[in-house]
A and B are shown apart, each in its own frame.
Chain A
């Protein structure tokens, strides 16, 4: 596991806010030379501390006005049914994320749709017809905020 010092944590915080910043700008903000900042950023990437970038979009402006989280319990369980379910649910374009969870549900899905009637269509035609699907619980997202996390 990679050991982080205060400068590494500051770099991670800055990149989590804006991943497009170059080593020059980040170095200036943190009192590092451009090559020193670049070396540290490369080390963070190589150690797997940063796993990629997230593009932040105004979804309603793109015609995707509704985000719904679904909790799904499988009616039948077993190795085969989990694989079948995961393959089928991952192929639905409106399903953005799929998480396997332990607790009240087996899976947690993030679904985007144009509006509520469009969401209902996705739910009826794509979700409820998935292999092995049992109980489904839906919550419509009203607001969302990401926090910097324990990098203080």
Chain B
């Protein structure tokens, strides 16, 4: 589908404040409310705008530790990726599963209540996942920039 400047303006304004009304959004994007509603409906119908998800503040719920685990898999096992990812989905503390082309194969975002709990999750649920060849951890210290903007 062809995305024009009007679509891009609407998407930029939506990213800036996803919860705003169509009336507010259309005013900021400089189009009529009817145009904004029609354009947004079209973007949704074509799958460009897939939806909106509430972002949960895990630290506010008592999950203070967040760790990025970068995993290299044993690729000699033919179904290493699928079996690893299927097993990782069963771990409730895993928030994100990403696969990569590069030095790292899979990255898991894991949260825990505190360091003692993290140690328990890491030993009991992560290291027991299948086909791990190597694993390294990055502990999140601070979010400097969060993804509410895109160069569209």
- Residues of A with Cβ closer than 8 Å to B? 1-2, 4, 12, 15-20, 47-59, 61-64, 69, 71, 86, 89-90, 93-105, 107-108, 110, 112, 137-147, 149-152
Contacts and interface: CB of A to CB of B under 8 A. Distances in A.
Contacts, number: 199
Interface of B: 1, 3, 8, 11, 14-15, 18-19, 46-58, 60-63, 68, 89, 92-104, 107, 111, 136-152
A112 B138 CA distance: 21
B56 A50 contact: yes
Contact of B55 (A18, A54, A147): A54
Given A147-B96, A152-B92, A105 B54 contact: no
B48 A16 contact: no
19 contacts: A20-B51, A54-B18, A55-B11, A55-B15, A56-B51, A57-B49, A58-B50, A61-B48, A62-B48, A94-B151, A98-B143, A98-B144, A100-B142, A100-B144, A110-B147, A139-B107, A147-B89, A149-B92, A150-B63
B151 to A, nearest CB: 4
A1 B61 contact: yes
A108 B138 contact: yes
Nearest to B92: A150
Contacts of A12: 54, 56
Contacts of B3: 61-63
Closest A-B pairs by Cβ, 3 of them: A139-B102, A15-B54, A98-B144
A146 B140 CA distance: 18
B142 A17 contact: no
